[in-house]
Chain A
Amino acid sequence: MERILMKGNEALAEAAIQAGCRFYFGYPITPQTEISEYLSRRLPEVGGVFLQAESEIAAINMVYGAAATGARVMTSSSGPGISLKQEGISYLASAELPCVVVNMSRGGPGLGNIQPAQSDYFQATRGGGHGDYRTLVLAPSSVQELVSLTHRAFYLADKYRNPVKILGDGMLGQMMEPVTWEEIELPPLPPKNWAIKGKGEGERKFILCMELDPQELEKFNRKLEKKYQQMAEEDTAWEIFGEESDPHLLLVGFGTVARILKSVIREGKKEGWRIALLRPITLFPFPYKVVQKMAEKAGKVLVVEMNLGQMIEDVKLGVEGKAPVHFYSRVGGMVPTVDEVLQKIADILRGEGRK
């Protein structure tokens, strides 16, 4: 199979096209602008629409409009822009409209910087906007996975009629790796008979995001709750790397950090360390049960993140106090190095690591 060296952002954009995305609305922001640039050339070639909006707010609402017609549609941004989109994402969740929102995240808060960070974990996994809703969150860790998870994102968005976020970072967006382009097959989806197309000769249809009757809104909230439970049961994804059967330390990290942790495990092996990595691929739904099983096996857990400690809260919810959970982080756009993590592990294994 032919491999092509591609930048993460461009591979994601091409994967969106191949997944049937024909509409993109966005606003430039580093480090994801290549997605817009690529699609501005590519979408017209396939009869699609690329539109640079006046703001992130307008972009997400254009996504809302196109999604209401049943189209496969995407927008992309980075931290500050995602904050602006959150209003629209809440409305999309409320109107049960499928779409894909990409966050190639960067250092924050505020304008922060443009270097890679994982500081938008809470925003992504807790809904991010107002009201009680969740979005599926996929966390790719390589350029090839940016491709496969982009396909999966569109599939899951349609399956659940829910926005899906792809949470990458500046490093994944900017790096190049070989990509193999093969046909990706996903299960069939029901027809979008809810889509607004003009009533034609049929019954009129609405896309709504309001329910003033509290009894009715509670019913709707419960419906969403069931949907989120179904996501957890059917679509939680993770990878285990390294010493799976008899680890004496469990590492947990996602995205860019997980790659570094794989290097750490290889280096640690030279020291005779038996370390397992659990890499959540879906951050919502989070693989709580696997975390607990692996933590019990290992007896010690180290969470590594490029934020001040966000996913660690989910890890602790999974571990339920059954093992100590240590933490190491770099923030502000700094990326943890293999040496730093090895040092932290050495401290933990000597019993010196602080929780």
Chain B
Amino acid sequence: MMHHEILIGGFGGQGILFLGRVLATAGMLEGHEVSWFPSYGPEMRGGTASCTVIISAEEIGATVTDHPDICIVMNEPSFRRFSPLVKEGGLLVINSSLIRENCSRQDIEILKIPANELAGKETGVAETTNMVILGALIARKPILSFSAVKSALEEILTGKKKNLLSVNFKALQVGKNFEEKERQ
């Protein structure tokens, strides 16, 4: 039965909540039950931010998780805090642009991606780091289809933000390409 508990951590301003929202929207568009829960509080910019997304075939109970099966960490504090929580056999996606430490866990799958560099170089827009990571994640673990993720972006980026669609699509592709090269 489809059930994923996804935890995303990083600095405020890295697009953590947005990344979670794209995942949750894509899950919803594919007909799953979803929930999105942010850490909230005074840390609006620059502080730590995290977000839990649950995508499931059945009614969602708890909206926070002790044991994410997918965890994305975008900075070192969240790496230290969240990497020990990942469920055995789960996937840890590490933004290696900002995380120099190595993960010693042998019981989980690790995907390292220099997302800041890739976003800067390949899309020219540093703010797409989160979508580069999402592209790589979906390529590694196809919990959702790329087309659903793109439709989710189309649903979220409307009005004045519509012009950001193409660069975000591009970032997804950059992440996907990176993951595919890694696998070879």
What is the bound-complex CA distance between A177 and B63, given in angstroms?
10
What is the bound-complex CA distance between A259 and B33, given in angstroms?
14
What is the bound-complex CA distance between A202 and B177, given in angstroms?
77
Residue with the highest number of chain A CB atoms closer than 10 Å, among B33, B62, B63 = B62
Among B51-79, those with CB < 8 Å from A are: 59-64, 66
What is the bound-complex CA distance between A262 and B28, given in angstroms?
21
Instruction: Of the listed stretches A45-53, A168-176, A287-295, name the one at the interface; the rest are far from the partner chain.
Output: A168-176
What is the bound-complex CA distance between A326 and B37, given in angstroms?
29
Contact of B63 among A114, A178, A259, A264 (CB under 8 A): A259
| Distance in Å: Cβ of A122 to nearest Cβ of chain B | 25
Q: Are A176 and B36 in contact (CB under 8 A)?
A: yes
- Which residues of the partner chain B approach A178 to less than 8 Å between Cβ atoms? 28, 33-34
A338 close to chain B: CB less than 8 A: yes
| Distance in Å: Cβ of A45 to nearest Cβ of chain B | 16
What is the bound-complex CA distance between A176 and B28, given in angstroms?
11
A335 close to chain B: CB less than 8 A: yes
Q: Contacts A5-B25, A114-B41; is A177 near B36 (CB within 8 Å)?
A: yes
Q: Are A262 and B21 in contact (CB under 8 A)?
A: no
Q: Are A261 and B61 in contact (CB under 8 A)?
A: yes
| Distance in Å: Cβ of A231 to nearest Cβ of chain B | 28
A263 close to chain B: CB less than 8 A: yes
Q: Are A262 and B25 in contact (CB under 8 A)?
A: no
What is the bound-complex CA distance between A30 and B39, given in angstroms?
13
- Which residues of the partner chain A approach B35 to less than 8 Å between Cβ atoms? 175-177
Q: Are A337 and B64 in contact (CB under 8 A)?
A: yes
Q: Are B40 and A114 in contact (CB under 8 A)?
A: yes
What is the bound-complex CA distance between A335 and B37, given in angstroms?
13
> Interface 1/0s, chain B 1-44, versus A by CB < 8 A?
00000000000000000000100110010000111111011000
Q: Contacts A176-B21, A178-B28; is A171 near B36 (CB within 8 Å)?
A: no
A347 close to chain B: CB less than 8 A: no
| Distance in Å: Cβ of A218 to nearest Cβ of chain B | 47
In this complex, the interface size class of chain A, counting residues with CB under 8 Å from chain B, is 20 to 34
- Which residues of the partner chain B approach A205 to less than 8 Å between Cβ atoms? none
A339 close to chain B: CB less than 8 A: yes
| Distance in Å: Cβ of B27 to nearest Cβ of chain A | 9
Q: Contacts A176-B35, A178-B28; is A335 near B64 (CB within 8 Å)?
A: yes
In this complex, the interface size class of chain B, counting residues with CB under 8 Å from chain A, is 10 to 19
Closest residue of chain A to B61 (Cβ to Cβ) is A263
- Which residues of the partner chain A approach B60 to less than 8 Å between Cβ atoms? 177, 259
- Which residues of the partner chain A approach B62 to less than 8 Å between Cβ atoms? 259-260, 262-263, 337-338
Closest residue of chain B to A179 (Cβ to Cβ) is B28
- Which residues of the partner chain A approach B25 to less than 8 Å between Cβ atoms? 5
- Which residues of the partner chain B approach A261 to less than 8 Å between Cβ atoms? 61
| Distance in Å: Cβ of B63 to nearest Cβ of chain A | 5
Closest residue of chain B to A264 (Cβ to Cβ) is B61
Q: Are A3 and B63 in contact (CB under 8 A)?
A: no
Closest residue of chain A to B152 (Cβ to Cβ) is A5
| Distance in Å: Cβ of B91 to nearest Cβ of chain A | 21
What is the bound-complex CA distance between A129 and B33, given in angstroms?
40
A223 close to chain B: CB less than 8 A: no
Q: Are B21 and A5 in contact (CB under 8 A)?
A: yes
Contact of B66 among A30, A31, A339 (CB under 8 A): A339
Q: Are A260 and B61 in contact (CB under 8 A)?
A: yes
- Which residues of the partner chain B approach A3 to less than 8 Å between Cβ atoms? 28
What is the bound-complex CA distance between A161 and B25, given in angstroms?
40
A226 close to chain B: CB less than 8 A: no
- Which residues of the partner chain B approach A170 to less than 8 Å between Cβ atoms? 40
What is the bound-complex CA distance between A256 and B63, given in angstroms?
9
A354 close to chain B: CB less than 8 A: no
A sample of 23 cross-chain residue pairs with beta-carbon separation below 8 angstroms, ordered by A number, consists of A3-B28, A5-B24, A5-B28, A30-B40, A31-B40, A174-B38, A175-B36, A176-B21, A176-B24, A176-B35, A176-B37, A177-B35, A177-B60, A178-B34, A259-B60, A259-B61, A262-B61, A263-B62, A264-B61, A337-B64, A337-B66, A338-B61, A338-B62
